[in-house]
Amino acid sequence: MDHSTARRFVDAWVTAWNGHDLDGVLRHFAEDVTFRSPVAAQLLGGDGIIRGKDALRSYWAEGLRRIPDLRFEVLGSYIGVDCLVINYRNQKGGRVSEVLIFNGALVTEGYGTYLGEDANPAGAR
């Protein structure tokens, strides 16, 4: 992945998230995507592993329903051979890194990673 491709991806990703545009976010993900997140485990129960684009849509739609003020501020992005890490601050001020693994132009695996209690999606302690 080159820097200009990564920059375009990050810009489109954050614009779609901040606009609560699920189709805009999901257009970058493969049909058979796997996404792992401790927030998914909290919101949906289970092991926190989301399998498939339809399940990912359902998870993120539920997240937007429960967190109507969701907003991300990108702090940095890090490029690998076939991966991208987006480090951002969410609406609570929590720091998050999303690790995205690509096959060609589409994300096939994703990992939401959080600092400690920043994984608590709605802010309840």
- How many helices (DSSP H) and strands (DSSP E) are in the chain? 4, 6
Q: Which of 81, 110, 115 is nearest to 98 (CA)?
A: 110
Tell me what pLDDT residue 125 has: 32
| CATH top-level class of 3-116 | alpha beta
**Domain range annotation of the chain:** 3-116
How do 29-36 and 106-114 pair as beta strands? parallel
Q: Which residues pair with 99 in a beta bridge?
A: 85, 111
Give the type of residue at 11: D
31-60 pLDDT, tens digit per residue, is: 999 999 998 888 888 899 999 999 999 999
Within the chain, which residues score under 50 in pLDDT? 123-125
Strand order in the sheet with 73-79: 49-51, 29-36, 106-114, 95-103, 83-89, 73-79
